[in-house]
Amino acid sequence: MGALIIGGLAKIYGKGASACRAVDGLSLNLPQGTVLGLLGPNGSGKTTTVKCAASILDYDGGSIAFDGLDPRRNRARYLSRLGAVLEGARNVHWRLGARENMEYFAGLRGMGRKDARGRAAELAARLGLEPVMNTLVGRLSRGNQQRVALACALMHRPQLLLLDEPTLGLDVGSVEAVRSLIPALARDGAAVLVTSHDMHLIEAVCDKVAVVRSGAVIADGSPASLRALFGAHSLRVRVPASGAERMSGMLPGAVRSEDEDGHALFSMQADSATAALELAAAVHRAGVPVADVELGRPSLEDAFKQLVAGQPAKETAR
Amino acid sequence: MKHTLRALRAEAGRYCLEMRRYLMDSVASAFIIILVLVMMLKGMDWAASGMAASTARLTIASSYLAWVFAFRSIQAIALGVYDEVQKGTFEQLYLSPLGVVPILLTRAVLEFVFTLGLVTLVYLAADALAGLGFGSGFGQALGYILAALPGVWGLGLALAGVVLIAKKSGSLLAIVSYAIIGLAAVPGLPLGLMSFLPYSAGASAARAALAGSGGTPSWWPAFTLAAAFGWLAFGFLVWKSAEARARRLSLFGQY
């Protein structure tokens, strides 16, 4: 079984004082049969990493290899194992039909016509594209266009699959289809690298998650281990904007965000339910006007927010 | 080899499919090309007479037909890349293990085959409507055009490289596509500095063949081919350099 191994990857845009280190010593290990989610805020280097792994972007340092193949030295062999959806629906020809796109891209990757036809039919059934196989892609819904792009990337049975924001702009049904497909691809033996801002997707499909900040991996492990990084229990307190400053002073470890109503949302984690309750009680005693309190298990989103905010973890994730 | 042939066949299949699906586009192109040529010939008849008119007609008609080949080649390669970069499919093209250049050259060859039919149609129609008065050297002229076309493909690759790294290069592409009529019209025969320009050696020899004036040395086809492949090599180098820059700066998906 092969693996995508990225070691100390570095990508710098610009020179001198204006140089920007988009990726700064990022390392990943993604064996076949595994789904790895790359999480990070905008500009953290996720897409740059995926583009480097797809060999459409040159990097300045480090190494990339899949199944021992370096894309710089064995580009053709590396690419024959790779499938990628990088720009979603923009990756397919809108003036061709769904089937025509699938067979065209399969041909570009060296597949025979008969094999491509069979594979297109198989993927159409799997992705729910059968009713639209003969429709021009330009006339399809956004969700179906995205599915066609995914099908095109899967035609040649890639061993390494790179999916950059595969559910961006999709409706619930289409997200569900992608969500059930990704683990199935890994079960078929593919190594799948997914980037997304959709925490539910990442949590549902990934065996491993790597959190990226400023071009480097700051934490990685299974979704469960990342969730537990900052404690076993979570507390979320929603307060009006007028009470936000007092709350910040009281809970220096909490991650603050704003909701659409202008309220401040403070999220924090605690080792036990009792500790979480004590925190809530302290807020109440201080007389801060509280709009809402929620006690529960920490989500991946909680852990992610804490990690990118630079909060110290209680232990290293595995 | 098998995989390469399959990839080229896929490209040919897509080309034919789009041609068939957007047939009206091709028919309208043919109509406009015929109309422009007939109007130019009629204008020439009005402006001059006798031997001068005959020479001018021949120069204009043969240069124009040679330009149609060059124009469509440039469009197939450089405009193809421009379109794909704009639409977002170029990244997928780039992921083909075959590489982009063989795919672009396949497009150019397919375009030549299509243009051959188009130019024959234009020739017949313009001859019937305005009397082209070409000699019997049409086949020989096509041979010279074919020999010189790799030079235009080289220009196309160079332009495609520019398109990759420069934003909003559509108008440059449009201007160059029309400017190459100069290459089809310059006197590349006999051997001189102009002969080394891309396409001019073949276009000049084609003009001579159509005039029935002969006058091309026996080594001219070899020279035409050598010049054409020299320009193709130049285009390839420009493309590789632009591709490397685009890979460094993440420009494949810009629009």
**Domains and their CATH numbers in chain A:** 3-222 (3.40.50.300), 227-308 (3.30.70.260)
What was the pLDDT predicted at B77? 95
The 10s digit of each residue's pLDDT in A80-132 is 999 999 877 788 998 899 999 999 999 998 898 899 999 999 999 988 899 99
What was the pLDDT predicted at A2? 86
Nearest to A301 by CA among A225, A219, A203: A203
Task: Return the HEC string of A251-296.
Answer: CCCCEEEECCCCCEEEEEEECCHHHHHHHHHHHHHCCCCCCEEEEE
What distance in Å separates the CA atoms of residue A191 and residue A183, rounded to the nearest whole number? Answer: 10
Do residue B89 and residue A56 have CB atoms under 8 angstroms apart? no
Q: Which residue in chain A has the smallest CA separation from B2? A: A110
Do residue A109 and residue B13 have CB atoms under 8 angstroms apart? no
Do residue B98 and residue A80 have CB atoms under 8 angstroms apart? no
In this complex, the residue of A90, A105, A110 whose CB is nearest that of residue B3 is A110
Position A317 pLDDT exceeds 60 = no
Interface A–B counts its CB contacts (< 8 A) at 98
Do residue A79 and residue B250 have CB atoms under 8 angstroms apart? no
Do residue B92 and residue A109 have CB atoms under 8 angstroms apart? no
- Mean pLDDT of all residues in A263-290: 82
The 10s digit of each residue's pLDDT in B6-58 is 888 888 888 888 888 888 888 898 899 889 988 888 888 888 777 777 777 88
What was the pLDDT predicted at A58? 94
In this complex, the residue of B9, B92, B250 whose CB is nearest that of residue A107 is B9
| Mean pLDDT taken over chain A | 88
**Chain A contact for B91, CB < 8 A?**
yes
Which has the minimum average pLDDT: A115-124, B101-110, B122-131? Answer: B122-131
What distance in Å separates the CA atoms of residue A22 and residue A13, rounded to the nearest whole number? Answer: 7
Q: How do strand A191-195 and strand A35-39 relate by DSSP bridges? A: parallel
Position A316 pLDDT exceeds 50 = no
Position A315 pLDDT exceeds 60 = no
Do residue A107 and residue B13 have CB atoms under 8 angstroms apart? yes
Q: Which residue in chain B has the smallest CA separation from A60? A: B248
ipTM reported for the complex, 2 dp: 0.85
Q: How far apart are the first and last CA of chain A?
A: 22
Position A211 pLDDT exceeds 50 = yes
**Chain B contact for A56, CB < 8 A?**
yes
Do residue A51 and residue B250 have CB atoms under 8 angstroms apart? yes
The 10s digit of each residue's pLDDT in A17-36 is 888 899 999 999 999 999 99
Position A39 pLDDT exceeds 70 = yes
Which chain A residues have a beta carbon less than 8 Å from that of B98?
Answer: 76, 108, 110
What distance in Å separates the CA atoms of residue A254 and residue A235, rounded to the nearest whole number? Answer: 9
Position B137 pLDDT exceeds 60 = yes
Distance from CA of B226 to the nearest CA of A (A): 30
Do residue B250 and residue A90 have CB atoms under 8 angstroms apart? no
Can you give the pTM of this predicted structure?
A: 0.85
Q: Which residue in chain A has the smallest CA separation from B92? A: A91
Residue A4: its H or E element: strand A3-13
CA angle, B29 as apex, B24 and B31 as ends, to 5°? 95
Q: Which residue in chain A has the smallest CA separation from B86? A: A90
**Chain A contact for B89, CB < 8 A?**
yes
Higher pLDDT, B167 or B207: B207
- Mean pLDDT of all residues in A142-154: 91
Which chain A residues have a beta carbon less than 8 Å from that of B25?
Answer: none
Position B255 pLDDT exceeds 80 = no
Q: Which residue has the tokens 């350099």?
A: B241
